[in-house]
Amino acid sequence: MIEHTLENEKQEMRQAFCQCLLDLAADEERLVLLDADLMSAMGTKPFQEAYPERTVDCGIQEANMIGTAVGLSLTGKIPFAHTFASFMSRRALDQIFISGAYSKANVKLIGSDPGITAKTNGGTHMSFEDMGIMRGIPTMTVLEATDITMLKWIMGWMARTYGMQYMRLVRKQCVKIYRDGTDFQIGKAVQVMNQFDAQATIIASGVCVAESIKAARTLSDEGIGVRILDMFTWKPLDNQAVIDAAKQTGAIVTAENHNVNTGLGAAVSEAVASSCPVPIEFIGVHDRFGQVGDQDYLAQQYGMTAKDIVEAVRKVVDRKRLYLHR
Amino acid sequence: MNESTDADKVRELKQFAGRIRQETVKEISAFGTGHVGGSLSIADLLAVLYGQEMNIKPEDPQWADRDWFVLSKGHCAPALYATLALRGYFPMDWLNTLNRNGTNLPSHADRLKVPGVDVTAGSLGQGASVAVGVALGLKMDGRDNKVYLVIGDGESQEGQIWEMALFAAQHRLGNLIAFIDYNGLQLDGYCKDICSLGDATAKFEAFGWQVVDVPDGNDVPSILQALETVRSKAQKADDRPSMIVLHTVKGLGWSEIAGTPKSHSTSINEQQRDQALAEIQTMMNAA
């Protein structure tokens, strides 16, 4: 089980992102950074100052940025390309699909401001579908960094692993979950909590992990124990952890900052349906667009708060009892 | 080179272009149908690049010092496949497998399947950006390799081409030598009736490229001359990317379709194949 602190990170995610790039670039001269006029927003100007010859700010042209990154990778570079998650997935999809994945290139795709964390950028910039879009691309690895500890691990893995990989991450403040230096594994969910006699498993990702931990505290007071899995690795999904959760706890709640119909809820449902059908409740966005608002407001709007997760767990546990007594 | 060896070289390249045309026609007719028009319009350019201009080693397609070639109008891969086979990148009999189940030669150029294909293309506009990335990567490493890129005039309707055009000029990619196969036709008809590219020379000049306009883009000496112009500019440390605008005839070599909208993708029966092969042979004999 994992220690969790639930304190705000001391750094913003973007500061950690830039520092991590600097650290990796010091040891890996093939690493290059591309952006489409969001370097200031992403806080990567210090990288540009340290490595001007390895920084390519393409300007406002996401499609050409991806093609350029692919071309760079064909000459042996290790390109990290950043834009907002919405533009990365929706605007540059065909380039990522064909120039990138279909032709087996090596580009690290970084999508920031996922879902409700786009806040006042609102509906045009709010990606509730980026992970689903990426999940539909053969061979693509699809990840969501939960906190800075995990972010650092994922970036190191990306830099040393050939292939097309997508990571979404919060750009600004984030909650710290993991002890510094924690090791992760692609395709392996993190068991954040496993209470005695867990009656349901919350399979969460991104900002919903912290909310799930808060929810577990409330549920514990009511005598409902839960297991929490941080499914940061959407593809490959940890099927075994999902199946174990279904078999051992008999009920599942998925919790994501994303559209349920193409997202984690869908992915978990596929795994559960094909092995051990159990009741599932889905926390996340249900076929809606984004809008402006602060993060707390948006979390309430889309039913992503700890309170919503508590209710979903109660509901799924009730459904399990009905199911068992049928 | 003296005049007689120049003439010999031109004659040789014209013969090579004829062979590329013939093998392209045979290759497509072996399957029955394909993108014959745009393949035939670039045959002379391919002959010049693979017959003389590019620094390549067919026995070592991944040779680090090679020049790169990107066919962004990836549906014209049959002509590239014919060229690569004639240069010995893979056996000639592969050409009979175009688009057949399990083939190594799919409709659109594929770097994972075809020895000598550097960049996968097919969704128009994309190869151009990848070419620019390759050129930038080579430049970052201080290498002398050149990147040759072919785009279509129809393809230039894609916004990505103009993103690429801005970017290549901004990054002073003097190692990028691009060509527009300006044959005036696209799938649905004449480009000028659909979404005209207009004056490609003026447009690319305005984007900061050095541009050479070649009125007869199917003429081997004219293509050689254009490349010579580009080279002499490059020697003057002009690090602008180059665009050579080749005014070509789509389907050149097969009169039944040449220069008509029908040429884009068409079936070829045996009789048509033989007619086209004979016409190409006549062209070669006259060269």
Q: pLDDT tens, A15-49?
A: 999 999 999 999 999 999 999 999 999 999 999 99
Question: Which residues 6+ apart lie within 8 Å of A165 measured at CB?
Answer: A107, A108, A109, A140, A141, A142, A143, A158
Question: Which residues 6+ apart lie within 8 Å of B277 measured at CB?
Answer: B22, B25, B26
Terminal alpha carbon distance of chain B: 20
Which residues of chain A make contact with B164, given a CB cutoff of 8 A? 64, 67
Contact A111, A96 (CB under 8 A): no
What is the Cα B128 distance to its own chain's centre? 12
Contact B207, B178 (CB under 8 A): no
Chain A interface test: which of B75, B119, B129 (most A C-beta within 10 Å): B129
Which residues of chain B make contact with A68, given a CB cutoff of 8 A? 129-130, 132-133, 136, 167
Whether the ω angle into residue B91 lies within 30 degrees of 0, i.e. cis, is no
Which spans in chain B are helix H?
3-31, 36-41, 43-48, 77-86, 126-140, 159-170, 191-194, 200-206, 220-235, 270-286
> Taking CA atoms, what residue in A is nearest to B120?
A103
Question: Which residues 6+ apart lie within 8 Å of B266 measured at CB?
Answer: B33, B34, B36, B37, B257
pTM of the model: 0.96
Rg of chain B on CA atoms, in Å: 18
Contact B104, B114 (CB under 8 A): yes
Q: Do A76 and B166 touch (CB under 8 A)?
A: no
Which residues of chain B make contact with A53, given a CB cutoff of 8 A? 140
Q: What part of B 167-196 touches A (C-beta under 8 Å)? A: 167, 170-171
Both structure tokens of A108: 């690290």
d(CA A154, CA A21): 12
pLDDT, tens digit only, all 326 positions of chain A: 566 678 888 899 999 999 999 999 999 999 999 999 999 999 999 999 999 999 999 999 999 999 999 999 999 999 999 999 999 999 999 999 999 999 999 999 999 999 999 999 999 999 999 999 999 999 999 999 999 999 999 999 999 999 999 999 999 999 999 999 999 999 999 999 999 999 999 999 999 999 999 999 999 999 999 999 999 999 999 999 999 999 999 999 999 999 999 999 999 999 999 999 999 999 999 999 999 999 999 999 999 999 999 999 999 999 998 877 66
Both structure tokens of A136: 């539909």
Of B125, B134, B159, the CB nearest to A71: B134
Which residues of chain B make contact with A71, given a CB cutoff of 8 A? 119, 129-137
pLDDT at B20: 98
Of A55, A18, A58, the residue nearest B140 (C-alpha): A55
Q: Any bridge partners for residue B151, and if so which?
A: B180
Give the three-class secondary structure for A205: coil
Contact B181, B217 (CB under 8 A): yes
Both structure tokens of A40: 């200031």
